[in-house]
Homo-oligomer: A and B are copies of this chain.
Amino acid sequence: MTLRVGIAGLGTVGGGVVKLLAAQAEIITARAGQKIVVTAVSARSRRERDFSVEGLHWHDDPVALATDANVDVVVELIGGSDGPAKKLAEAAIAAGKPFVTANKALLAMHGAALAAAAEAKGVAIAYEAAVAGGIPVIKVLREGLAGNNVSRVAGILNGTCNYILTTMREEGRDFSEVLADAQKLGYAEADPSFDVDGIDAAHKLAILAGLAFGARIDFASLHIEGIRRISDLDISFAQELGYRIKLLGIAERTDAGISLRVHPAMVPESRPLATVDGVFNAVQLEGDYSGSVFLRGRGAGEGPTASAVVADLIDIARGIKVPVWGQKAASLAPAILQPMAAHEGAYFLRLMVVDQPGVLADVTAILRDHGISLESMLQHGRKPGEAVPIVLVTHETREEAVSAALAGIATLPSVLEAPALIRIEP
Contact = CB atoms under 8 A, between A and B. Distances in A.
A31 to B, nearest CB: 5
Q: How large is the interface on A (under 10, 10 to 19, 20 to 34, 35 or more residues)?
A: 35 or more
B144 A136 contact: yes
Contacts of A140: 136, 139-140, 144
A139 B143 contact: yes
Contact of A306 (B289, B307, B322): B289
Contacts of A145: 136, 307, 311
A143 B320 CA distance: 10
A33 to B, nearest CB: 7
A289 B303 contact: yes
Contacts of A32: 146
Contacts of A136: 139-140, 143-145, 293
A314 B30 contact: no
A96 interface: no
A331 B31 CA distance: 10
A210 interface: no
Interface in A271-309: 272, 275, 287-298, 301, 303-304, 306-308
Contacts of A306: 147, 289
A8 interface: no
A225 B304 CA distance: 34
A116 to B, nearest CB: 15
A321 B323 contact: no
10 pairs of A and B residues whose beta carbons are closest in the complex: A136-B144, A147-B310, A134-B290, A289-B307, A290-B307, A289-B303, A291-B298, A293-B297, A294-B296, A30-B327
